[in-house]
Chains A and B, each alone.
Chain A
Amino acid sequence: MGKQTSTVSVYLEDGPLLEAPDGPAGTAIVHQNSSFSVEPSTHCIPPPIIPVPIGGSNSAMVNRLSSSPLLKRISSTISRSFSSSAAKESGSEVSRNARAAIVATVATGGLAAWYVHLYGNPIKAVTVAEHGLHPASYPWPHNGWLDTFDHASLRRGFTVYKEVCAACHSLNLVAWRTLVGVTHTADEVRALAEEYEYDSEPNDEGEIEKRPGKLSDYIPSPYPNEQAARAANQGALPPDLSLIIKARHGGCDYVFSLLTGYPDDPPAGASIASGLNYNPYFPGGGIAMARVLFDGLVEYDDGTPATTSQMAKDVTSFLNWAAEPEHDERKKTGLKVLIITGSLWAISLWVKRFKWAPIKTRKILYKPPKV
């Protein structure tokens, strides 16, 4: 049939529904592949699409034939040959596209391989050992999406912090009151806070006196400032532990591995500067903090044996709570958000299908124009 400029109307029972704009007649075929279901031309219904030629002898011929009973057969023949020629054309189109796709894929893969070859394996300035040993992944009680901390462990961890870590490390962002209802009762925390002295408000003479701590005070620092901390530790600054779990790669696993990872002797070949201790998990291997946790160092009030790994696990859990006091609310809110948005998503799917049902299931019929 070649290229024709024609307008093809598709009728829905009682009127024109779609009008294909002028253009190559090949565009009209698209309807057969669309989701509209079209009745085959077996009964009284003519074939779905009849290209209507405009001008020339073709037009006159179709006009003459349109009233004759031959129309059905001829038009279906036209339509068949038309679509088969279109398929042949599109077939060669597809193979050309396929060739282009293959070439493009090969070129892309080659470029990517070249790039990886050039830049994928950079020379590292530091060795793996200098990066620090990668910590193992431990099954923390709070690992799961819906798991809270083991609060008995948090309580023991606070004991370890208070009796061991607090000698050098501050916990600046944690107030006494936040321990209430998490690790201790209010009376216990009050008693803990009163063990420390804080500056009071200026009195009538403008002098600042000392007063015992209250629930609203923050856990005091072992050193008044950074310089004092460095001076007491041969120049090394013990970091604040409030956010240490969030601030280190590996989080809990790293801190636990670091605390329990001091070997008795550094391995052969490891050179450690004087004043530093060897720990494979610490980047560079030389850490100013010596091993601090030894079996039986603290006494737990719940009777748990205070082994090194037990204390490390407890204090790591406690520091994770200190870094993420919103932990429980975060996980609960996440569950709520997933449930609500999941429900809304399901509803929106249903509404879409409901609204589209009549459109997707309608039938499009062709009614030839009366001549």
Chain B
Amino acid sequence: MAVSSIIYNTFMRRNSVFVGTILFGAFAFEMGFDSTIDKVWDRLNAGKQWKDIKHSYVTSEE
């Protein structure tokens, strides 16, 4: 009860704060979600991507 009333009073009491929370939350969620998916992708494809083989060519070229 206390938690829900805190949430209500903090984020939902004023419409401006509520809308701002939604907007900011969307951005924050997108960033977190995308980076999580990227981490999963990198783990599943470890050793296959360019970033995994890049080192052998960068050092030999420069």
Contacts and interface: CB of A to CB of B under 8 A. Distances in A.
Interface of A: 141, 146-152, 155, 181-185, 187-188, 302, 328, 331-332, 335-336, 339
A125 B34 CA distance: 52
A181 B51 CA distance: 8
Given A146-B41, A332-B41, A336-B37, A155 B53 contact: yes
Interface residues of B, number: 19
A151 B7 CA distance: 48
A151 B49 contact: yes
Nearest to A146: B44
17 contacts: A146-B45, A147-B44, A147-B48, A148-B49, A149-B48, A151-B50, A151-B52, A152-B53, A181-B50, A183-B50, A185-B54, A185-B58, A187-B61, A187-B62, A331-B41, A335-B37, A335-B41
Contacts of B57: 184-185, 188
A138 to B, nearest CB: 17
A22 B27 CA distance: 58
A141 B49 CA distance: 11
Nearest to B42: A148
Nearest to B56: A302
Contact of A151 (B33, B38, B44, B53): B53
Contacts of A147: 44-45, 48
A273 B57 CA distance: 47
A228 B33 CA distance: 52
Nearest to B58: A185
Contact of B45 (A148, A181, A182): A148
Interface of B: 33-34, 37-38, 40-41, 44-45, 48-50, 52-54, 56-58, 61-62
B48 A141 contact: yes
Nearest to B38: A332
Contact of B41 (A148, A151, A181, A187): A148
Given A152-B48, A181-B50, A332-B37, 9 more contacts: A141-B48, A146-B40, A147-B48, A151-B49, A151-B52, A152-B53, A185-B58, A335-B37, A336-B34
Task: List the 10 closest pairs (A to B, CB-CB), nearest first.
Answer: A148-B45, A151-B50, A150-B48, A152-B53, A146-B44, A187-B61, A185-B57, A151-B49, A148-B48, A185-B58
Nearest to A331: B41
A149 B47 CA distance: 10
B1 to A, nearest CB: 19
Contacts of B54: 185
A331 B38 CA distance: 11
A339 B30 CA distance: 13
A7 B45 CA distance: 70
Contacts of A339: 33
A185 B62 CA distance: 11
Contacts of A335: 37, 40-41
Nearest to B41: A332
A188 B50 CA distance: 14
Contacts of A181: 50
Contacts of A152: 48, 53
Contact of B33 (A150, A155, A336): A336
Contacts of B56: 302
Nearest to A147: B45
Contacts of A328: 41
Contacts of B38: 332
A318 B40 CA distance: 24
Contacts of A332: 37-38, 41
Contacts of A151: 48-50, 52-53
A347 to B, nearest CB: 14
Nearest to B45: A148
A152 to B, nearest CB: 5
Contacts of A185: 54, 57-58, 61
A369 to B, nearest CB: 45
